[in-house]
Amino acid sequence: AADDHCRIYIDERLIFDHWDTPHGGENETALATYIVQEKNLVRIRVEYREITGSAHLQLKWKIANDLIPHTITPEYFYQVNEFEFSPIRGILVRDASIDAKTTYASGSALVHTIAGTKSKVAIYPRDRFGNTHTNDDYLTFTKMILNTFEVTCDLILPREQNEKYSIVETVQAELTYDSATGFFTAAYVPQTAGDYLLSVKMLST
């Protein structure tokens, strides 16, 4: 239900189109059926135009066994980028938590480095839906991420078949955050030539 003009898209599919005629008095509700999968992110886009009177927009959902639709509550909303200045007072939509299953690292230093030179690996944090995990609050987010990831590079001795490798020395990587791109860089300098085991670990959050 909405007053005055609005369009609503779900996963880029136009579900409601009341752009030219007001819709949404107290007893007026537009209904549509859209099948979604459990625990998957659904993208909702609302286009809105206020004409007269007090504006309102209500978005509700229901499953097959529900008798009436229910207002979608804030804990079910996620935003690619966290925002703090919602016009709806008292509601703050945050990023979902970083998930190790969807977070990944890339860069040539994952497989090849040169002793005595700085090597870099990019870490791309994602939530469980695969969304990028960024924040405009650089200091807060950087402090949080430094307590989230641990990157180490271990020099290991060659091992015989069925034997566990031995760690000779460990190099701790330095983490930095780029707020423009939303990813983190782990930089390290191996001092000794040899085989290294690079570990990008996500700590409990």
Q: What is the pLDDT of residue 2?
A: 56
Which of these three, 48, 72, 96, is where a domain ends? 72
Give the pLDDT confidence score for residue 79 in this predicted structure.
66
Question: Among candidates 140, 120, 137, 118, which has minimal Cα distance to 189?
Answer: 118
* 78 inside domain: no
For the chain, the domain total comes to 2
- Between CA 92 and CA 84 the distance in angstroms is 6
Query: 118 versus 60: which is more confidently predicted?
Result: 118
The string of pLDDT tens digits covering residues 132-167 is: 766 555 555 555 555 667 788 888 876 665 567 778
Confirm whether 50 is domain-assigned: yes
pLDDT of residue 55: 66
Question: 118 and 64 share a domain?
Answer: no
Q: Are residues 121 and 32 in the same domain?
A: no
Q: Are 156 and 119 in contact (CB under 8 A)?
A: no
Is 89 part of a structural domain of the chain?
Answer: no
Mean pLDDT for the stretch of residues 175-202: 82
- Based on the fold, state whether residues 61 and 114 are members of the same structural domain: no
pLDDT (tens digit per residue) in 1-15: 556 677 888 888 888
What's the pLDDT tens digit per position in 38-91?
Answer: 777 788 888 877 766 666 777 888 877 888 888 888 777 776 555 555 555 555
The last residue of one of the domains, among 72, 93, 127, is 72
Q: Measuring CA to CA, which residue among 108, 102, 92 is closest to residue 133? A: 102
Does residue 113 share a domain with residue 46?
no
* Residue 159: CATH number of its domain: 2.60.40.10
Q: Are residues 135 and 68 in the same domain?
A: no
Whether the model clears a pTM of 0.75, i.e. scores above it, the answer is no
Final residue in a domain of this structure, among 16, 50, 72: 72
> What's the pLDDT at 26?
47
CA dist., res. 69 & res. 31, Å (int):
10
**Which range of residues forms the domain containing residue 56?**
2-72
Query: Within this chain, do residues 115 and 65 fall inside the same structural domain, yes or no?
Result: no
Domain presence at residue 85: no
- Give me the residues paired with residue 16 across strands: 8
